[in-house]
Amino acid sequence: MVVDATTAAVEAYGSVGDVPMVAYDHPLLFSYDSDTVIRLPRLIEYDYPNVFEVFLWSDTWTARVNGSLVRDFDGVSNPTDYVNRQLGIIKRWADE
């Protein structure tokens, strides 16, 4: 599910709009149980680095896309690729 949320963030970043956002009702998340989707931000908050910078809460959630990281996750298609991208970002930060 994190990979699908990441894909949604990459799509949102590439679309026309003021602030790229992903919400709990994004079509890529429809295949998951609604209780799980509602809890997704809690999982992502502890998964760093990730493509989101702010979660806005009410009964549901909306997440603002982190423009400085989202391009690094373009093309992620599976969990292994996702983790490898995270490790690449961390390595880049360490090298800097």
pLDDT in tens, 12-48: 998 877 789 999 999 999 999 988 899 899 888 888 8
- Taking the C-alpha atoms of residue 16 and residue 8, their distance in angstroms, rounded to an integer, is 14
Q: Write down the domain spans for the chain.
A: 2-95
Classify the phi-psi angles of 76: left when phi > 0, otherwise alpha if psi is within -120 to 50, otherwise beta. beta
Q: Are 9 and 63 in contact (CB under 8 A)?
A: yes
pLDDT of residue 19: 86
- pTM for this prediction: 0.88
pLDDT of residue 18: 78
pLDDT of residue 45: 86
Q: For helices 2-14 and 34-45, give the axis angle rounded to 10 degrees.
A: 80
CB atoms within 10 A of CB 21: 18
22 has which bridge partners? 63
pLDDT of residue 16: 72
pLDDT of residue 70: 94
Q: State pLDDT tens for residues 49-83.
A: 999 998 998 889 999 999 999 999 999 999 999 99
